[in-house]
Amino acid sequence: MLAPWAEIVLTVAAVGTAIAFSKILFLPHQSLKEGMTDVRQHWGLYGAIVLLLGSLLMANGVDLKVYTLANVGKSIAIAATGWLIYRLVVHRAEIRLPRVAEAFDHLIGAMILILILLFWMVWA
């Protein structure tokens, strides 16, 4: 069992992750045109779904206490909250960040500073 403060931090991080991935959650899709019966494009999707759900159930299959109604509801609520925040706030906001910080020499300088900091922490 987690401490209450750790559970709050992890929930906020999960909502942030849901916000970040909400742009790919509901990608527009194309349906097959009338008369077309090509199902080859669906095999990849169904294969991925079976692989991911199968591995999730296999990994947590030994501990079935995880799959309670409260835990499943909390997971769905976190995903829905992240999607709503993305749809209502982030999607409509236009954020323009300056490109100066992405110049090559600035990136090299920042990496060198981080490397120096890491060596300093190891040797201290």
Domain residue spans in the chain? 4-25+40-98
Q: Which residue has the higher pLDDT, 1 or 73?
A: 73
**Separation between Cα atoms, residue 24 and residue 91, nearest integer Å:** 12
Residue 113 belongs to what H/E stretch? helix 104-123
Q: What is the pLDDT of residue 62?
A: 73
Q: What is the pLDDT of residue 94?
A: 78
Q: Per-residue pLDDT for 27 more than 80? A: no
Q: Is 82 exposed, middle or buried (0-12, 13-18, 19+ CB in 10 A)?
A: buried
Task: State pLDDT tens for residues 90-107.
Answer: 877 777 877 776 788 888
Q: State the angle between helix axes of 69-85 and 4-21 in degrees (0 to 180), rounded to the nearest 10.
A: 50
Task: State pLDDT tens for residues 37-88.
Answer: 555 656 777 888 889 888 887 887 777 777 789 988 999 999 999 999 988 8
